[in-house]
Amino acid sequence: GENVEQHPSTLSVQEGDSAVIKCTYSDSASNYFPWYKQELGKRPQLIIDIRSNVGEKKDQRIAVTLNKTAKHFSLHITETQPEDSAVYFCAAPPSGGSYIPTFGRGTSLIVHP
């Protein structure tokens, strides 16, 4: 099955700095790469996704880049704010007939005011 590695596991930044989280995946023929954000005590929610026909997608302060050749994709958050503090999960497309994406282990982002 799919293997997804996410780094770093913890990321601490000062408010206003940028944060980058990277995920690598092993194999897939699909084309959908989502990112979920889980605030403390809340449910994971989709914040941005990208399909393989584009290399980058932006939504205000967040962006995702995809390199299918190298099999990695990254989440970029600019001008971080304390409310960006959360756990972020990447997910890679299912493989082998599965309909469920494989999630990374998560990155705990801490933004210090």
Q: Which residues bind another protein (CB under 8 A)?
A: 6, 9, 30-32, 34, 36, 42-46, 49, 51, 89, 93-94, 98-106
Nearer to another protein, 26 or 98 (CB): 98
Q: Which tokens sit at 74?
A: 């990254």
**Rounded to the nearest whole angstrom, what is the least distance from the CB of residue 110 to another protein in the complex?**
15
**Rounded to the nearest whole angstrom, what is the least distance from the CB of residue 105 to another protein in the complex?**
4
Nearer to another protein, 78 or 87 (CB): 87
How many other CB atoms are there within 10 angstroms of residue 70's CB atom? 8
Q: Which tokens sit at 44?
A: 């994971």
**Rounded to the nearest whole angstrom, what is the least distance from the CB of residue 9 to another protein in the complex?**
8
CA angle 46, 30, 57 (to 5 degrees): 45
Cα(36)–Cα(1) distance, rounded to whole angstroms? Answer: 21
Nearer to another protein, 97 or 113 (CB): 97
**Rounded to the nearest whole angstrom, what is the least distance from the CB of residue 30 to another protein in the complex?**
5
Residue type, 4: V
Contact 55, 67 (CB under 8 A): yes
